[in-house]
Amino acid sequence: MIGRLVTLGVVVTVLAVAFVMGEQVVRRDEGTQKTTVIYWEKWTGDEAKEMRKVVDAFNRSQNKIFVRYLSISGVDQKTKLATAGGHPPDIAGIWQDQLCQMADEKSLMDLRPMADAAGLNRDYYIPAYYDALTYEKGLWALPSTPASVGLHVRPDLVPAEYASPETFPKTLEGLDELTRKISIRKPDGRIQMAAFLPSNPGWWNWAWPNYFGGKLIDGDKVTINTPEARRALNWYAGYSKQFGSQEVQTFQSGFANFASPQDPFMDGKVAAEMNGVWKANYIRVYKPGLKWFAVPMPYPADRPDLAGHANLSQDVLAIPRGAAHPKEAFEFIKYVQRQDVMEGLCAGHGKNSPLAKVSEKFFTTHPNRFIRLFDKLARSPKAFSPPMVGIYPQISSEMNVAFQQVSTGAKTPEVALADAQTRLEGLWATYRKQILGIQP
Amino acid sequence: MTPLQKKQLKIALTHVALVLLSALFVMPILWMLTTSVKPINETMTSPPRWIPSQFQFWNYREAVMYGSEELGYIPFLVYARNTVLITILTVTGAVCSNALVAYSFARLKWPGRDLFFSVTLATMMVPFPVIMVPTFALFRWLGWVGTFRPLWVPAFFASAYSIFLLRQFFRTIPMELSEAAKIDGASEIRTFVDVIIPLAKPALAVVALFTFMGSWNDFMGPMIYLVDQKTFTLSVGLQAYQTTHGGTPWNLLMAASAMVILPIVVVFFFAQKLFIQGIATSGLK
Amino acid sequence: MNRHRDARVGILFASPWILGFLIFLAYPLISSLYTSFTSYSVLRQPKWVGIDNYRELYFDEVFRGNLVNTLYYAVGAVPLSTAVAIGLALLLNSKVKGMAVYRTLFFLPSLVPMVALGTLFLWVFNSDYGLLNSALRGMGISPPNWLGDPAWAKGTLILIAMWGCGQAMIIYLAGLQDVPASLLEAAELDGAKPASQMRHVILPMLSPVILFNVIMGIIGSLQVFTVPYVMFPGGAPARSTYFFAMYLYDNAFQYQRMGYASAMGWVMFGITLGLTLLSLKISEKYVHYEGG
């Protein structure tokens, strides 16, 4: 009898302790007289450290507002759920390509009134970046760190006559020719070195039609199946044909994580790689001393008007609908937009700056040797961002599927694009009817 | 061949089969263990290496210490503590509530009992994503999002799988035992505690083990309901190793994974006999 | 009088589950059923659209692809893992030294969190430097691209399902303890070969357990999510490994179409229920209950 009671006592005590400890872990510290602004951000590790520096500096610079930085995995999903629940963070560090969908759902606050009042208008920024944040007459976020994409090249793996930014092929045809000439195969047929592979890293499949002069969205129509897109996909398929689709897939599956010395570019598996301004960070960490240079992405030979094109991306700061302290949140966002703060943050991340004005010091002290190129690419009139439409996630998925179908040879480019076009037209019509309330 | 030789051959063949098959089964785990002590540049080589050039046992320490004040990294010990807390609460709640409920379905008569049991079984067929969002909405309404409560409170309300298992077991215990207790004047609770529970220990141990495994490895639950990084559990934390933007330290991730599964392995190894006997007697017929 | 008291006590004991069911299941179930008739982005109030979601599902070729993929997977994984689990259980039932160690080894993979398991298998099946292909090449065989070739990707997942059969194996092992040794001895004395013993003694005695595991296996394989999610993002390549649960998840959380996802979930439930009832019907002929 006693034994039983003792057991019961122990169990209850253990339970009580576990319960209390559990509650303590999740309890948030109560605020002080300052207004606390909750800031959810996607970054961890070094990138988080850089933003924390900015947050700390802001908190020190005044004593009315306290910004609390939280590293949240799945920040976009959690922000949406929290907004739906009526308790969103005050600032959400999401991605530019989600803005249209969230704006259509009226889940973000229009920052234009506050931004204009603070002088943060289109003239203050590089136009392409600012335009990517405006949609349906609203300004839905301001940048935290932007990026542009270029072609990275290993001069030690290409013939001497091409081994400099000035002499490297400027056209896609030139790049194709180079690949045919210098790629190396192993005796058993597997690829040892491919000069270039459009499917590496394969993060921007949606952009290929743009690189051939096409557009995915035209006004309020979905324009996936255009001559430019077909041309892009045929060009892409050409690489599978050249090497053999199985060989390309096997080769690519052997690519190690981009953040390791076995990254294909650093490891010499490819001589040229399409990648963003941040690539230099990884090279610095994993293969310092590696010789490389960057050039704009090549253009089709018959479209010299596209020279200097690049696809852009941005990490942005948005204020969800229903945030508890929007004005104070905007004070912090405004602080981040200050030229010295922004340059410090972007240099810390190894990225370019989204502001129209940039200091010489930013260029000279920037860790990326080719930062001027990436800056120039962002300012190019030919720079472009993901299509500004609410069904962008679906478009991205369908494009990825189409590219996979083409590289495995399951479908021809024409069929793949036609199927994607039909499916997206259906999804777009449903979206317009259900979400935008536009009757067909 | 003599019968004895036949028997020896059979045993020998069985051994061979066991060794080969278990090697095959365990191979991914072996890979995980050898990778966990490799230097980073040997983790993803082509062709793959089994034996590291040096045995970096300190990877384990580094995986655990891979955390700093500002939670910019992965605070492994914090995640471990959180997981332990939640698991203790979950397992306790599960064993208590499921025992009570299964007892009711197995040995008490009440109107609608069998119908409700069929409904209980049917609930196991509902795909989790279907109820994911309304359940989230419910917890949001209660104000429990961001806390541990959505992860352990439902355990105190029983679950279909465990109810099913325990009910089968309770039905194998002869009714005469309960009746004898009743004649002696025992209340239902008395009968439950004094007669049934002692006989049910193995089956309860099974429920405890499976619940422990479920809670320890639960990924979706913590991912949806936990917000602040310092409240994360091990399963979510493991995933964070992969998405850290400083590069995935594969060897540390494997070391961390090895440490995460170790408790369950230890528990299982020592408590095997108990479980197998437990399920055997539960009949499942 | 006694009846009423009995009923009260019975319901009292069952009350945790009754409450739990009403709070944590009934409400979400009804709510999601309602949602399936709406357009709901989670960010705004749901908007009634009647059967539009179901109609759209009917014409959705990606959903049809999911049906094919998921059923292909279930038809492959359930029989295979059943056979493997029973086979292993038989093996582990022998009176051989070190059985405790062997049992733990076989049970081990089912303890590994699915996320880690998926990552591990990404390496093992990697086409270029993975363990499997390196071994095959060493033997002079030209190996397929397990992960990148649509023709092989689903098969790879079915193979992987084998590694998770630890729980089922334990349950079969326990079931085998119940097969009376006397029956087996009698059969052997009658001159029955092992295969025949299998067919006429062991399998029938195990049949209730097999039914339990098969039904659990059907339910589980129709909802397969985590391992494909980790190994084949987006159902790559070319949606050949795109299953129900993944498409549902994408619709709910990526495309913000919770209404559509709910409709899909209910269709999934219907199919699962149908297959389970079918299994039960078939089982009436083959399952043998000892002592009723």
Is ipTM beyond 0.90?
no
Residue B29 shares a structural domain with residue B152: no
- pLDDT class for A336, splitting at 50, 70, 90? very high
What percent of chain A lies above the pLDDT cut of 70?
A: 96
Decide if C255 and A393 are in contact by the 8 Å CB cutoff. yes
Asked whether residue C35 is assigned to any structural domain, the reply reads: no
Asked whether residue C218 is assigned to any structural domain, the reply reads: yes
pLDDT digit string (tens) for C181-214? Answer: 677 777 777 776 767 767 777 777 777 778 778 8
Compute the distance between CA of residue C292 and CA of residue A10 in angstroms, rounded to an integer.
42
- Quote the pLDDT of residue C53: 94
Q: Which amino acid is at C191?
A: G
Q: Cβ of C59: how many Cβ atoms within 10 Å?
A: 9
Decide if C42 and A80 are in contact by the 8 Å CB cutoff. yes
Q: Following CA atoms A406, A409, A415, A418 in sequence, which dihedral angle do they give, to the nearest 10 degrees?
A: -20
- The domain limits of chain A are 35-147+313-384
Q: Domains in chain C: how many in total?
A: 1
Of A84, A250, A391, the CB nearest to C145: A250
In angstroms, the Cα distances linking B116 to B102, B120, B232, C23 are 12, 6, 36, 16
Tokens of A225: 């199946």
Structural domain harbouring C279: 52-286
Helix (H) or strand (E) holding C258: helix C258-286
Contact yes or no for C269/B125 (Cβ under 8 A): yes
Chain A residues near residue C147 by CB distance under 8 angstroms = 253
Chain B residues near residue C277 by CB distance under 8 angstroms = none
Helix (H) or strand (E) holding A205: none
- pLDDT class for B124, splitting at 50, 70, 90? confident
pLDDT digit string (tens) for B218-277? Answer: 887 888 888 777 788 888 777 666 544 344 566 777 777 788 788 878 877 777 766 666
Mean pLDDT of B190-219: 82
Say if B140 is an interface residue toward chain A (CB within 8 Å): yes
- Packing angle of the helix pair C114-124, C131-138 (nearest 10 deg): 30
Cα A57 from chain centroid? 26
- pLDDT class for B94, splitting at 50, 70, 90? very high
- A237-243 long-range contacts (CB < 8 A, ≥24 apart) are A237/A406, A237/A407, A237/A412, A237/A413, A238/A176, A239/A179, A239/A196, A239/A197, A239/A198, A239/A199, A240/A406, A240/A407, A240/A408, A240/A409, A242/A179, A242/A180, A243/A183, A243/A191, A243/A194
Strands A293-295 and A142-153: antiparallel
Tokens of A68: 């609390």
Burial class (CB in 10 A: 0-12, 13-18, 19+), B49: middle
Mean pLDDT of B191-212: 81
Strands A91-95 and A35-41: parallel
Compute the distance between CA of residue B203 and CA of residue C171 in angstroms, rounded to an integer.
12
Compute the distance between CA of residue C223 and CA of residue C77 in angstroms, rounded to an integer.
12
Best A13, A17, A21 member to test B by mutation, with max B CBs in 10 Å, is A21
- Quote the pLDDT of residue B48: 61
Task: For domain A35-147+313-384, say whether CATH 3.40.190.10 is its number.
Answer: yes
- Per-residue buried b or exposed e for A135-166, using 16+ beta carbons within 10 Å of the residue's own CB: beebbbbbbbbbbbbbbbbbbebbeeebbeee
Burial class (CB in 10 A: 0-12, 13-18, 19+), A43: buried
Of A25, A85, A285, the CB nearest to B82: A25
Compute the Cα dihedral for A160, A161, A165, A170 and give only its sign.
negative
Q: Which of B243, B217, B247, B259 is nearest to B36 (CA)?
A: B259
Q: Is the pLDDT of residue B69 over 60?
A: no
Chain B residues near residue A92 by CB distance under 8 angstroms = none
- Quote the pLDDT of residue A375: 96
Best C154, C255, C258 member to test A by mutation, with max A CBs in 10 Å, is C255
Question: Average per-residue pLDDT in chain A?
Answer: 90
Q: Give partners of A (≥3 CB pairs < 8 A).
A: B, C
Q: How far is C29 from chain A (nearest CA, A)?
A: 19
Q: Taking phi first (over 0 means left), then psi (-120 to 50 degrees means alpha), and beta for anything else, what does residue C98 get?
A: left
Compute the distance between CA of residue A192 and CA of residue B56 in angstroms, rounded to an integer.
31
Compute the distance between CA of residue A26 and CA of residue A34 in angstroms, rounded to an integer.
21
- pLDDT class for A32, splitting at 50, 70, 90? low
pLDDT digit string (tens) for A67-121? Answer: 998 877 778 888 988 888 778 999 999 999 999 999 999 999 999 999 999 999 9
- Quote the pLDDT of residue B71: 40
Asked whether residue C40 is assigned to any structural domain, the reply reads: no
Say if B153 is an interface residue toward chain A (CB within 8 Å): no
Q: Which residue has the tokens 């199919």?
A: C271
Q: Which residue has the tokens 């229903």?
A: A322
- Quote the pLDDT of residue B285: 37
Mean pLDDT of B113-130: 80
Q: Which residue has the tokens 């334990």?
A: C170
Q: Which amino acid is at A348?
A: G
Contact yes or no for A245/A408 (Cβ under 8 A): yes
Chain B residues near residue A11 by CB distance under 8 angstroms = 92
Compute the Cα dihedral for C86, C88, C93, C99 and give only its sign.
negative
In angstroms, the Cα distances linking B166 to A396, B106, B204, B207 are 48, 9, 7, 8
Rounded to whole angstroms, the maximal C-alpha distance in chain A is 93
Q: Which of B131, B208, B196, B122 is nearest to B162 (CA)?
A: B208
Decide if A410 and C236 are in contact by the 8 Å CB cutoff. no
Q: Any idea how long chain C is? A: 292
Boundary (domain end) residue, out of B23, B46, B64? B64
Task: Write the CB contacts of C267 (distance below 8 Å, at least 6 apart in sequence).
Answer: C54, C57
Tokens of A186: 């192993």
Residue B34 shares a structural domain with residue B89: no
Task: Write the CB contacts of C9 (distance below 8 Å, at least 6 apart in sequence).
Answer: B108, B110, B188
- Quote the pLDDT of residue A167: 94
Asked whether residue C58 is assigned to any structural domain, the reply reads: yes
Out of A284-288, B203-207, B246-250, pick the least confident.
Answer: B246-250
Q: How far is B230 from chain C (nearest CA, A)?
A: 20
- pLDDT class for A412, splitting at 50, 70, 90? very high
Q: Is the pLDDT of residue A222 over 70?
A: yes
Backbone angles phi, psi at A134, to 5 degrees: -105, 135
- Quote the pLDDT of residue B245: 39
Q: Taking phi first (over 0 means left), then psi (-120 to 50 degrees means alpha), and beta for anything else, what does residue A116 get?
A: alpha
DSSP codes, C200-236: IIIHHHHHHHHHHHHHHHHHHHHT--HHHHHHSGGGT
Of C62, C129, C237, the CB nearest to A408: C237
Residue B49 shares a structural domain with residue B158: no
Compute the distance between CA of residue C278 and CA of residue B63 in angstroms, rounded to an integer.
49
- pLDDT class for B70, splitting at 50, 70, 90? very low
Q: Which of A245, A22, A433, A231 is nearest to B90 (CA)?
A: A22
Of A77, A253, A423, the CB nearest to C147: A253
- Quote the pLDDT of residue A231: 95
- Quote the pLDDT of residue C291: 36
Q: Give the A window 241-260 contacts with B, CB below 8 Å.
A: 254, 256-257, 259-260
Tokens of A257: 């994580």
Q: Which of C120, C162, C113, C230 is nearest to B262 (CA)?
A: C113
Question: Average per-residue pLDDT in chain B?
Answer: 78
Boundary (domain end) residue, out of B37, B64, B91? B64
What is the domain-level CATH number for residue B215?
Answer: 1.10.3720.10
Q: Which residue has the tokens 């006693």?
A: A2
Structural domain harbouring B267: 67-282
Tokens of A300: 């089709």
Q: Is the pLDDT of residue B283 over 50?
A: no
Q: Give partners of C (≥3 CB pairs < 8 A).
A: A, B
- pLDDT class for A131, splitting at 50, 70, 90? very high
- pLDDT class for A170, splitting at 50, 70, 90? very high
Q: Cβ of B109: how many Cβ atoms within 10 Å?
A: 12
Cα A34 from chain centroid? 34
- Quote the pLDDT of residue A401: 93
Boundary (domain end) residue, out of B48, B64, B80? B64
- pLDDT class for B192, splitting at 50, 70, 90? confident
Q: Is the pLDDT of residue B193 over 50?
A: yes
Compute the distance between CA of residue A94 and CA of residue C58 in angstroms, rounded to an integer.
34
Residue B144 shares a structural domain with residue B193: yes
What percent of chain B lies above the pLDDT cut of 90?
A: 12
Looking at the DSSP bridge assignments, the partners of residue A206 are none
pLDDT digit string (tens) for A266-283? Answer: 989 999 999 999 999 888
Say if B47 is an interface residue toward chain A (CB within 8 Å): no
Compute the distance between CA of residue B58 and CA of residue B255 in angstroms, rounded to an integer.
10
Residue of B nearest to A281 (CA): B246
- Quote the pLDDT of residue B239: 66
Asked whether residue C128 is assigned to any structural domain, the reply reads: yes
Residue B119 shares a structural domain with residue B60: no
Decide if B145 and A85 are in contact by the 8 Å CB cutoff. yes
Higher pLDDT, residue C101 or A254: C101
Q: Which residue has the tokens 């190129």?
A: A373
Residue of C nearest to B16 (CA): C91
Q: Which amino acid is at B259?
A: M
Tokens of A82: 């929290």
- Quote the pLDDT of residue B43: 65
Task: Write the CB contacts of A418 (distance below 8 Å, at least 6 apart in sequence).
Answer: A225
Residue B153 shares a structural domain with residue B268: yes
Residue B56 shares a structural domain with residue B115: no
Decide if A434 and C49 are in contact by the 8 Å CB cutoff. yes
Helix (H) or strand (E) holding A192: strand A191-193
Asked whether residue C268 is assigned to any structural domain, the reply reads: yes
- Quote the pLDDT of residue B244: 43
Nearest 5 degrees, angle CA A230-CA A387-CA C56? 80
Q: What is the mean pLDDT of each run of 10 residues along chain C (292 residues)?
A: 77 91 90 91 86 93 93 92 88 76 81 73 78 80 82 88 81 72 73 70 76 82 84 82 90 88 90 84 69 34
User: Coil, strand or helix: which one is A384?
Assistant: strand
SS3 content of chain C, % helix, strand, coil (to 5): 75, 0, 25
